[in-house]
Amino acid sequence: MVVFGCADGTLRRDDVPDAAMTVDAGVDAGVDAGVDAGVDAGMDAGMDAGVDAGTDAGVDAGMDAGVDAGVDAGVDAGVDAGVDAGVDAGVDAGVDAGVDAGMDAGVDAGVDAGMDAGTTEPRPLFIAVGYGGRRAVSPDGETWVSDIADADGQNQDDSQHFRAVAAGGGVFVAVGGGGGTDNCSVQGSVCVQRRLAWTTDAVEWHDAITPDEQELSGIAYGNGRFVVVGGTGWRGYSTDGEHFSYLPYDGSVTTQFRAIAFGRGTFVAVGDSGRRLTSTDGQAWTNDTGEGSANLTAIAYGNMRFVAVGVGGRRVRSIDGGETWDSDVSGGGDLYAVAYGNGVFVAVGNGQTLTSPDGATWTPRSSPANLFSITFGAGKFVAMGPEHASYTSTNGIDWTTHDNGTLPNSLGFSGVAFGELP
């Protein structure tokens, strides 16, 4: 190719057909080569970029998918494991708790059952005693069972006569007797004038041999012991109701003591000519000469005071444990018994009944019958007399008569007491 310079300063070639063709071919070849090279380079670069991008995307996607799958799998596995572990733990805990609770309940039930089986509720009872060695038992003072007698009770069989009864420590003890050697009960070779019997079940009674010509007239329970009094000042005591010790006769007290009561830690006995004795244990006694000549036949304790009653309607009280006495009044028929309950003293006797809140002021009441004995228990007064009836009242004013055909129509029940037996 020849290049010429032109007048206008441009360069110009002298085109020749063969030369032009050669140039065109070169151009085409260059273009093709450039295109190929560009394509190759672009493809390589694109592939590299695509691979890189794809790899990154794949890795990210794979990681995301793996994490998601791992989390899901982990959660599922964790839940399954947790549930299994929870169930196992719950079952174990439930079994343990159930066993413990069952054992505790079983032990408690066993202990309760054992205690129930080993103990019984005490039985509240009224027991009345009287002529002919008569003893009658009642759970309520209304319905009675005449369970035992030593004679028919129609005669003055004093040696068989029970004059009083008391209860304490799961024992009932009845006392009586008297009448001299011509009228006694024989136990073995012993002529018994002093009568004493005890029971722990109100069914079987046991006689204690107490050889002497003087009867026992009164008995009371307190300070864990029974104390008895009787003719010519005889006194005795027992901690079990079976074995009694008697004070030796010393001649210092010759009065017939007819009744005894316990209160404020002291036993107080009363008797003929208004005589009184006091003791804290039945062994050591303080002698009170008394006032007046009327015999005192009964005594009761309540409302922080002793009240005694007797022949000719005599009433007397002590508010200092038997040391001094006041409110000595008389009038009316003989009074044979007195008891305290529901805030009132009730005295009964030969066709009369009296009530008093304090032992000083007395009110005559209508009497349901001639009454020989009275006690208070289970929220009521229970009084006994001749015939075969008992009488109950909550206030000493209103009385209900209970006719019991099973009781003998004898000379009467001269003593009644309330207590509990095992």
CA distances from 103 to 97, 106, 114, 119 (A): 10, 5, 16, 24
Per the CB < 8 A criterion, the answer to whether 422 and 170 are in contact is yes
Determine contact, residues 94/87, Cβ cutoff 8 Å: no
User: What is d(CA 194, CA 188) in angstroms, rounded to the nearest whole number?
Assistant: 15
Is-contact 314 329, C-beta < 8 A? yes
Taking only the tens place, the pLDDT of each residue in 132-147 is 888 999 999 999 987 6
Is the Cβ–Cβ distance between 389 and 403 less than 8 Å? yes
* Token duo for residue 37: 């090279």
Do residues 174 and 414 touch, judged by C-beta distance below 8 A? no
List, for residues 372-396, the tens digit of each pLDDT value.
Answer: 999 999 999 999 988 789 999 999 9
For 263-298, give one letter per residue: b (16+ CB within 10 A) or e. bbebbbbbbbebbbbbbbebeebeebebeeebbbbb
CA 412 to chain centre: 38
Tell me the per-residue pLDDT of 31-87, one tens digit each, with 9 for 90 and over.
354 435 443 544 454 345 433 544 454 335 434 544 354 435 443 544 355 435 544
Residue 30 above 50 pLDDT? no
The one-character DSSP state at 22 is: H
Confidence band of 268 (pLDDT split at 50, 70, 90): very high
301-344 residue pLDDT tens: 999 999 999 999 999 999 999 999 998 888 889 999 999 999 99
Q: What is the mean pLDDT of the segment spanning 280-288?
A: 92
- For residue 115, pLDDT over 60 is answered with no
Q: CA–CA separation, 409 vs 131, rounded Å? A: 11
CA-nearest of 337, 414, 352 to 163 is 414
Three state DSSP letters for 243-274 = CCEECCCCCCCCCCEEEEEEECCEEEEEEHHH
Could you tell me if 236 and 245 are in contact, meaning their C-beta atoms sit under 8 angstroms apart?
yes
Residue carrying the six token digits 């001639």: 370
Instruction: Give residue 35's identity as a one-letter amino acid code.
Output: V
pTM of structure: 0.71
In one letter, which amino acid is 52? D
> Rounded CA gap, 141 and 143, in Å?
6
Mean pLDDT of the region 14-37: 44
